[in-house]
């Protein structure tokens, strides 16, 4: 089987030419550089498993151009590509002419392959060792899970304890703040309120003492006034008795005067009730007088 051009490889894999060139540069694809019929160097790609599988979807004669054998510019890639490269059909005449350089290339490729195989064995051994360690870790996983669960529960307990302690600290701080406020109020009470209350009490006591003195003076005045009132009452009673006696005497005098007037009136009435003298008697009586 021959090599493929970059365009043909891009067509088979369904990728861009730039992607195939990048894969050749990164050794993801193996190939060789040749000089084409126009004297321009170009890449030829060794078909790997992926390319061979994709080629089955194309007609057999679609890429049937002149074959080209391997050259000294072949760039080795992965081991599968190298193995596929070793199975490429090469023209017998060209093989006889290029046998020496091909053997050199094959020896170099074999050495590279042996080195790569050694590295892969070491890597495989390291991977197996890591797998064994992972297996042991998997076997210990339940214990680790239990330890992790215990640690998680312990961490949660510590977290809850820390939260409780934080709340206690906040409560103590709040209590300390309340105590500080109470202490400040007490200090203010001792320095400002109590002296003010003491002064107010002293003033009230002084005022009450004054009020008591005034009340005592008023009581003494009332006592004097009561005494004077009793004296005045006795004098008034004596005056009233004298007035009553005087009125009684006046009444008796008036009664006697009235009786005298009444007697006089009775006498006049009796005189008036006597027969009146005639005209001639009055006349003679007047003349006689």
pLDDT tier for residue 207 given thresholds of 50, 70 and 90: very high
pLDDT in tens, 143-193: 777 888 888 898 888 889 999 989 999 899 999 999 889 888 888 888 888
- The pLDDT score that the predictor gives to residue 280 is 59
Specify if 182 maps to a domain.
yes
Specify if 134 maps to a domain.
no
Burial call 14-41: b when 16+ CB within 10 Å, e when fewer: eeeeebbeebbeeeebbbbebeeeeeee
Specify if 283 maps to a domain.
no
Strand-strand pairing, 41-45 and 31-35: antiparallel
The pTM of the full predicted model, rounded to 2 decimals, is 0.27
Cβ(88)–Cβ(31) below 8 Å? no
Distance separating alpha carbons of residues 167 and 50, to the nearest angstrom: 67
Domain that residue 98 falls in:
4-112
Number of domains in the chain: 2
- The pLDDT score that the predictor gives to residue 168 is 92
Using CB atoms within 10 A of its CB, is residue 13 exposed (0-12), middle (13-18) or buried (19+)?
Answer: middle
Specify if 117 maps to a domain.
no
Strands across the sheet with 31-35, in order? 4-5, 41-45, 31-35
Specify if 208 maps to a domain.
yes
In this structure, are 71 and 171 located in the same domain? Answer: no
In this structure, are 93 and 171 located in the same domain? Answer: no
pLDDT in tens, 250-285: 888 888 888 898 888 888 888 787 766 666 566 666
Specify if 222 maps to a domain.
yes
Question: Per-residue DSSP letters for 117-128?
Answer: HHHHHHHHHHHH
In this structure, are 8 and 105 located in the same domain? Answer: yes
Specify if 94 maps to a domain.
yes
Please count the other Cβ atoms lying within 10 Å of the Cβ belonging to residue 244: 10
In this structure, are 19 and 106 located in the same domain? Answer: yes
In this structure, are 101 and 177 located in the same domain? Answer: no
User: Residue 18 pLDDT > 90, yes or no?
Assistant: yes
């Amino acid at each position: 089987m021959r090599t493929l051009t970059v365009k043909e490889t891009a067509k088979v894999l369904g990728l861009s030419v730039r992607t195939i060139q990048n894969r050749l540069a990164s050794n993801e694809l193996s190939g060789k550089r040749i000089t084409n019929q126009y004297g321009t160097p170009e890449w030829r790609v060794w078909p790997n498993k992926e390319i061979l599988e994709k080629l089955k979807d194309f007609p057999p004669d679609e890429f049937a151009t002149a074959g080209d054998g391997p050259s000294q510019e072949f760039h080795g890639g992965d081991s599968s590509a190298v193995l596929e490269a070793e199975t490429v059909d090469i023209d017998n005449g060209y093989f006889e002419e290029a046998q020496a350089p091909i053997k050199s290339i094959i020896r170099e490729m074999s050495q590279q392959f042996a080195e790569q195989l050694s590295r892969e064995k070491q890597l495989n051994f390291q991977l197996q060792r890591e797998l064994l360690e992972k297996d042991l870790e998997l076997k210990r996983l339940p214990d680790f899970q239990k330890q992790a669960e215990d640690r998680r529960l312990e961490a949660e307990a510590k977290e809850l304890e820390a939260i409780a302690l934080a709340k206690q600290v906040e409560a103590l701080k709040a209590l300390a703040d309340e105590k500080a406020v109470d202490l400040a109020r007490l200090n203010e009470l001792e320095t400002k309120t109590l002296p003010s209350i003491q002064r107010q009490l002293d003033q009230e006591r002084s005022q009450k003492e004054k009020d008591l003195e005034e009340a005592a003076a008023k009581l003494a005045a009332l006592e004097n006034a009561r005494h004077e009132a009793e004296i005045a009452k006795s004098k008034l009673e004596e005056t009233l008795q004298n007035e009553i006696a005087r009125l009684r005497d006046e009444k008796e005098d008036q009664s006697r005067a009235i009786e005298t007037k009444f007697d006089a009136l009775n006498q006049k009435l009796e005189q008036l009730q006597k027969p009146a003298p005639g005209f001639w008697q009055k006349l003679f009586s007047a003349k006689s007088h």
